[in-house]
Amino acid sequence: MIEESWLVNLLKERTSYSNIVLADDVAIDLIHLSVDTPRIFVGTVGIKLQYPETFFADAYKELENQELQVFSVQFICKRSDLATVRNNIKIAYTGQSPFPLDSNYSSVAFMEASLVAKTSTKVWFQELLGVVMPRIS
């Protein structure tokens, strides 16, 4: 499993944004939150199997059913900055791997994104990212 701090540090290094923290399970009040600079929250959502319909206890078969760690990257920004902030975050993680020796096999990949909430001037956006765990060799 990958430490959440790896993705936080990656985004800090590869974007101009400094307000990047681990996510808390606390509701964020968009109406009162200042978003002069984007606020970015990173956290692990869980782990999925490549073939979730297949569940077994055969070690050889389990090696072929890869685990995918899922991360949530949420950010709050000015509504007019949504495309720019999202593109900067995507550029930061695209092609990056927490496994340098296995980077041809496993890198951060986009899964899905959605709007969580919005006001007339602000948006709260969530992007789900996945990292395939390296195979046991």
Q: What is the pLDDT of residue 137?
A: 40
Q: Residue 58 contacts by C-beta under 8 Å, 6 or more apart in sequence?
A: none
> Which of 32-46, 79-93, 94-108, 110-124 has the least mean pLDDT?
94-108
Answer whether residue 62 shows pLDDT above 90. Answer: no
Range of the domain at 80: 4-132
Whether 83 maps to a domain, the answer reads yes
Whether 95 maps to a domain, the answer reads yes
Q: What is the pLDDT of residue 95?
A: 87
Whether 137 maps to a domain, the answer reads no
What does pTM read for this prediction? Answer: 0.84
Interval 92-117: pLDDT, tens: 999 898 887 766 778 899 999 999 98
DSSP bridge pairs for 118: 123
CATH code at position 44 = 3.30.2000.10
In the chain, the number of structural domains is: 1
Q: Is 53 helix (H, G, I), strand (E, B) or coil?
A: coil
